[in-house]
Amino acid sequence: MYIIPPSTSELINIQLTSLRINPPILSQCSALNLPNDQLHVLSAIKNILGPKTQRNKYPYFFIIGPGGTGKSFIINLIVNDLKNKRSKYLLLAPTGVMSQNIGGQTIHSALRIRKMQNGFQTLAFHDYEFFKNLQQIDTLIIDEISMVSAALLSFISEMFSVI
């Protein structure tokens, strides 16, 4: 027996939830079994991110490669490490389906960004509590970055440089 949801948004939410691909639960030994190139990437990123108390501005990292080379796996390892350190992070993707697949949020909804005629606008500078929450973010991870326009990426960079 199926229960019919009372609203369209609930129906869409149910459909998206059914499509969700849960990230694998990774053991603490996962990094030990990585190929050398993946281990090098993971080590470099973890070393640059530093301890939780360090409040430096971090460089950008782009994990690139053809499909099936382990980019999402590396991102999952990084996310697990951030969780273990109790570090504040945002895990974002350009579309709703992609964000569901990684257990994150869309860029636009998480950062409250909307497209304007001459660029983008965020509500972060109009909502003090939201602004303070964004100030606590240590790491920003955007999956499928190739689908994000240069203009939006530049806007996000400028936004966080002010925050």
Q: Report the candidate in 39, 132, 35, 42 with the shortest Cα–Cα distance to residue 82.
A: 42
Has residue 6 been placed in a domain? no
Has residue 9 been placed in a domain? no
**For residue 80, what are the domain limits?**
35-162
Has residue 82 been placed in a domain? yes
Has residue 27 been placed in a domain? no
- Which pLDDT does position 131 carry in this prediction? 93
Has residue 41 been placed in a domain? yes
Question: Coil, helix or strand for 121?
Answer: strand
Has residue 99 been placed in a domain? yes
What is the pLDDT averaged over residues 100-110? 92
pLDDT one-digit tens code per residue, 33-58:
777 777 777 777 777 765 544 555 55
Counting the structural domains of the chain, the total is 1
Confidence of residue 6 (pLDDT cuts 50, 70, 90): low
CA atoms within 13 A on the CB side of 109: 11
pLDDT one-digit tens code per residue, 67-103:
787 788 888 888 888 888 888 899 999 999 989 888 8
- Which pLDDT does position 34 carry in this prediction? 74
pLDDT one-digit tens code per residue, 120-152:
999 999 999 999 999 999 889 998 888 999 999
Q: Report the candidate in 134, 136, 128 with the shortest Cα–Cα distance to residue 159.
A: 134
Has residue 80 been placed in a domain? yes
Has residue 29 been placed in a domain? no
| HEC per residue, 36-52 | HHHHHHHHHHHHHHCCC
**More confident: 139 or 105:** 105
